[in-house]
Amino acid sequence: MTDSTQKPSHLALYEHELCGFCQMVRRSTANLGLEVESRNILREPRRRQELIEGGGKGMVPCLRIEYPDSRVEWLYESADIIDYLKRVAGD
């Protein structure tokens, strides 16, 4: 469950270019005008390890959400990520 009351300080998307769901999320970030760091798990294998250690699964897309108070949340599922990004962009 993501915190909808606090604005994130940094967003990072764990993804790779062969994933259609990742492409869908990336298009949404562009359409919403949001800046989201790309962390490609195929080109940078250490990113996949970060994903597993932090989020608990090696599945992409996954959005790493950092808050100003140093909390970190991991959000899986493209539809959930897009809904979250729309809420962030709407604030």
Q: Does residue 34 contact residue 8 with C-beta atoms inside 8 Å?
A: no
CATH of the domain at 70: 3.40.30.10
Average pLDDT for runs of 10 along the chain of length 91: 77 96 97 96 96 96 96 97 95 65
The pLDDT assigned to 91 comes to 65
Question: Regarding beta strands 62-66 and 72-76, do their DSSP bridges make them parallel or antiparallel, or are they unpaired?
Answer: antiparallel
Residue 5 lies in a domain: no
The pLDDT assigned to 6 comes to 81
User: What contacts 88, CB < 8 A, 6 or more positions away?
Assistant: 7, 8, 11, 34
Torsion, Cα 44 46 52 54, to 10 degrees, reads -110
Residue 2 lies in a domain: no
Residue 3 lies in a domain: no
| Overall pTM surpassing 0.85 (yes/no) | yes
Residue 1 lies in a domain: no
For residue 51, the enclosing domain spans: 10-90
The pLDDT assigned to 67 comes to 95
The pLDDT assigned to 2 comes to 66
The pLDDT assigned to 3 comes to 63
Instruction: Read off the amino acid at residue 69.
Output: D
